[in-house]
Amino acid sequence: MKTVTVMPSKKKKSWAKWTIHLFPIPALVIYGMFVLYPILAALSYSFFEWKGMSRGDFVGFQNFVTLFTTEPYGSMFWNAFKHNVLYFVLQMVVMNGLALFLAFIIYQKIKGAEFFKAAFFLPRLLSVIVVGFLGKLILNPNFGTLNIILEKIGLESLQRAWLGDPNTALIAIILVNCWFGLGFGVLIFLAGFQSIPAELIEAARLDGAKGFTLLRTIYLPLMVPSITIMGVLTFIQSFEAFELVYAMQGSMGEPYYSTDTLAVFFYRLAFGSSTASGTTAIGLGSALATVLFLFILICTTVFLRFANKKDVQM
Amino acid sequence: MKQGAIWTRPFYYIVVFAMATISLYPILLMMLSSFKTSVEIYKNPLGLPTSFSLDTYRTLLSKIPFTTYFMNSVFVSIVSVVLIVIICSLASFYIARFKFSWNNALFFIFLLGMMIPIKLGIVPLFILMRDLGLINSLWSLVFMNIATGIPLTMLILTGFFRTMPYELEEAARIDGAGNLRVLWHVVLPLMRPALGTVVIINFIAAWNDFFFPLIFITDKVKRTIPVGMMSLFGEHSADWGSLFAGLTLASLPMIVLFFIASKQFMEGLTAGAVK
């Protein structure tokens, strides 16, 4: 460095010019090693035969064929896929629908708006493990709040082991996830409402628009950008769903795969905790990862393209 | 319509109160339950604990190395956040303040990470970590936190860098300051709001991360809080009291920080989506 300082200014400048290119290097190296490389490698792994953790011969699309045509993998895939779809739909309707409504209420300048925002948001700060156990606490058949409330209001007939019953377990988990994510949606939608120019609403009011007309003609069209963002985020999160299911129902999607999702199925294949044979199936797992990755990528790209026409940016 | 208007306000308040109760109640119940024995949880699930004894907390600390988990979480979170801030400041300074022809492409590549479901790359990641000798090392978690934090952090910092006027920077350059000095002494001090946001999002993500420690850490004494809590339930499934003591301790740092800076938290976590 010392030699540089005594050099003529022209040299010093070119040195400074060169060193600037070092600035993005640490970020690129870490991001490349731990994000880009693994995802690309996972795609390539799906075309090879695997024995445990060591790679064998190139087998083309064999893993994909096995995944979709061999039992129990084929039916497990579609079973989990259906659950992911339900995950997405329920979260869109319940969580985002409610978040949109709550954001609209807060936007009406109610008293205590800051408190309500913070209250809705607080669950978002908890670890998924904590969220999962809180779900188990509330839904516990013996001392869970939900069953106690049902008893108090005389609806004992509805009481059940929510997480032990294949008919309710998945819905229960998705609703726990809605509880977790609600506040985030409220904040996104609130920011959307607040970015609508006040003059526009004034003008519409003067034209005589009220209530639902106002909602339909002014608010909803102008909320499309925030709804799109929440839609995409919810989509990605729904098809990646793993932690909450794993924390609450384990790697088998108890009871009897009724809460299984594609990512949990992938985990079983990749780490062999409970494949049919009890061993790892990295080839199949990678094939599943590839299918899921492309599915998420294609759907979000198409969706954003379509939404872009309505002037949305992500 | 007039009649509707009279009822709308009270209706709004009923809705937000009900939803706020639903949001807060489980967290309160967790804290209350943490002072109860398992028997008390069964007998009197919703009421206040009969005594605020700290027995459950003592049991927790004697059963599992909770302090170790806690220190592991603190180490991983703090080191990750410090390194993310340094690394991303350098990279976003480069992208936002210089006009090299590849900068837009570079930025795009970084942002692409927001759409990559990185969990699907866990097998290559596991093999990579094994080859690097980082399985059962807290550094595997630090690297993952940095790598997965980069896209959103780059988006926020680059956006903020771009809004800043060039004049100050030029003045410093005329005085002979190099790139690092300009970044450190001139630009970064003006970036405090954005840096605060970045620190908060990455800290929450690192503190709560569950997936990577689940895969990379098998050594009991290297666990962070979330995986440690998971094992507590597996091994001592009957003891709900100390389980909730552990969950309360795990959540408390975030909740306390949230009370101190709720505005920054809420702005921080939504910063990536709202532009």
Q: What is the SS3 assignment for A71?
A: coil
Q: Determine the pLDDT at residue B28.
A: 92
DSSP code at position A218: I
DSSP code at position A91: I
Please state, in angstroms and rounded to a whole number, the distance separating the CA atoms of residues B242 and B253: 18
For residue A6, pLDDT beyond 80: no
CATH number for domain B64-235, candidates 3.40.50.720, 1.10.3720.10, 1.10.645.10, 3.30.420.40: 1.10.3720.10
B174 touches chain A (CB under 8 A): no
- The ipTM, to two decimals, is 0.86
Q: Is A99:A246 a contact under the CB 8 Å cutoff?
A: no
Q: Determine the pLDDT at residue A309.
A: 62
The closest CB to that of B23, out of A30, A183, A270, belongs to A183
Q: Is A145:B45 a contact under the CB 8 Å cutoff?
A: yes
For residue A1, pLDDT beyond 50: no
Nearest C-alpha neighbor of A32 from the set B116, B39, B210: B116
Interface A-B, measured as beta-carbon pairs within 8 A, has a size of 248
Domain residue spans of chain B: 2-53, 64-235
Does residue B117 come out as left (phi exceeding 0), alpha (psi in the -120 to 50 range) or beta? beta
Q: How many C-beta neighbours within 10 Å does residue B192 have?
A: 9
Between the two ends of chain A, the Cα-to-Cα distance in Å is 43
Q: Which of residues 20-59 of B touch A (CB under 8 A)?
A: 20, 22-27, 29-30, 33, 41-42, 45-46
Closest Cα in chain B, distance from residue A234 (Å): 12
Please state, in angstroms and rounded to a whole number, the distance separating the CA atoms of residues A63 and A288: 9
Contact state of B251 with A125 under an 8 Å Cβ cutoff: yes
Helical spans, DSSP H, in B132-209: 138-163, 167-174, 179-181, 192-208
Strands A48-51 and A54-58: antiparallel
Query: What backbone phi and psi angles, to 5 degrees, belong to B87?
Result: -65, -45
Please state, in angstroms and rounded to a whole number, the distance separating the CA atoms of residues B260 and B253: 11
DSSP code at position A111: T
Lowest mean pLDDT among A294-308, B44-58, B153-167: B44-58
Q: What is the SS3 assignment for B192?
A: helix
pLDDT in tens, A173-216: 999 999 999 999 999 899 888 888 888 888 888 887 777 777 77
pLDDT in tens, B241-251: 888 888 898 89
Burial of B109 (0-12, 13-18, 19+ CB in 10 A): middle
Which chain A residues contact residue B253 at CB under 8 A? none
Contact state of A27 with B91 under an 8 Å Cβ cutoff: yes
pLDDT band at B275 (very low <50, low <70, confident <90, very high): very low
Nearest C-alpha neighbor of B77 from the set B125, B147, B129, B141: B141
Q: How many domains does chain A have?
A: 1
The domain containing residue A237 runs over which residues?
Answer: 71-308
pLDDT in tens, A208-246: 777 777 777 888 888 888 898 899 889 999 999 898 998
What sign does the dihedral A303-A306-A310-A311 (CA atoms) show?
Answer: positive
The closest CB to that of A45, out of B87, B117, B124, belongs to B124
pLDDT in tens, B124-138: 999 999 999 999 999
Q: Is A5 within a domain?
A: no
Q: Determine the pLDDT at residue B1.
A: 42
DSSP code at position A51: E
Contact state of A137 with B262 under an 8 Å Cβ cutoff: no
- Which range is most confident: B27-41, B188-202, B211-225? B211-225
- Mutation site, B1, B23, B209, B215, interface A, largest A CB count within 10 A: B23
Q: What is the SS3 assignment for A55?
A: strand
Contact state of A35 with B15 under an 8 Å Cβ cutoff: no
pLDDT band at A131 (very low <50, low <70, confident <90, very high): very high
Q: Is A102 within a domain?
A: yes
Q: Is A27 within a domain?
A: no
User: Per the structure block, which two tokens stand in for B60?
Assistant: 């927790």
Q: Is B196:B268 a contact under the CB 8 Å cutoff?
A: yes
Q: Determine the pLDDT at residue B34.
A: 86
Q: How many C-beta neighbours within 10 Å does residue A33 have?
A: 15
Q: What is the SS3 assignment for A49?
A: strand
DSSP code at position A34: I
pLDDT band at A15 (very low <50, low <70, confident <90, very high): low
Contact state of A123 with B233 under an 8 Å Cβ cutoff: no
Q: Is A19 within a domain?
A: no
Give the pLDDT mean for B226-249. Answer: 78
Q: Is A285:B123 a contact under the CB 8 Å cutoff?
A: yes
Q: CATH number, domain at A194? A: 1.10.3720.10
**Identity of residue A37:** Y
Q: Which residues are bridge partners to A54 per DSSP?
A: A51
Nearest C-alpha neighbor of A23 from the set B156, B106, B164: B106
